[in-house]
Amino acid sequence: MAAPHHDPAHQLVPAAEPEALRAALPPPLREEFDSEWESVLEDAKKSHTLVDIHALLNKWQHTAAMEFRDPGSYQRMLDKAARILEQGGNPHGGTLEDMLAHIERRRRAL
């Protein structure tokens, strides 16, 4: 029997479970996760749905993986978003039309 294939990149992604995510996050982000977790739990009690819990776990799973690959990237993303909002746009970004054209070119290349 062949040994199972282990993808090293997959090990960078923690399980979408609160305990695993907390363990993978640096302390400042862990505090933010805890705050959001408490809020979404309260909302789930009232709405009787798990949709927001799943969305939160998905968001933080991606954030934890991003932070593992590039520590500090989450804060840099927030800082960039704040600058874009302050400036009323991204001077280094393309237009929506450019992005749609780029997507179409990639679709045709498939």
- The answer to whether position 1 is within a domain reads no
- The answer to whether position 102 is within a domain reads yes
Question: What pLDDT, in 10s, does the model give residues 66-105?
Answer: 999 999 999 999 999 999 999 988 888 888 899 999 999 9
Q: Are 35 and 86 in contact (CB under 8 A)?
A: no
- The answer to whether position 4 is within a domain reads no
- The answer to whether position 6 is within a domain reads no
- The answer to whether position 92 is within a domain reads yes
Helix (H) / strand (E) containing 101:
helix 96-109
CA distances from 48 to 17, 18, 24, 83 (A): 19, 19, 28, 38
In the predicted structure, residue 3 carries a pLDDT above the cut 80: no
- The answer to whether position 80 is within a domain reads yes
What is the domain range of residue 62?
Answer: 13-109
Report how far residue 28's alpha carbon sits from residue 32's, in angstroms, rounded to the nearest whole number: 7
Backbone φ and ψ of 2, nearest 5°: -75, 150
The number of distinct structural domains making up the chain is: 1
Please state the separation of Cα 57 from the chain's center in Å.
Answer: 9
- The answer to whether position 3 is within a domain reads no
Rounded mean pLDDT of 48-68? 96
Q: Residue 11 gets which letter from DSSP?
A: G
Alpha-carbon torsion angle 43, 44, 45, 50, nearest 10: 180
The tokens describing 53, both together, are 């819990």
- The answer to whether position 55 is within a domain reads yes
Q: What is the mean pLDDT of the chain?
A: 89
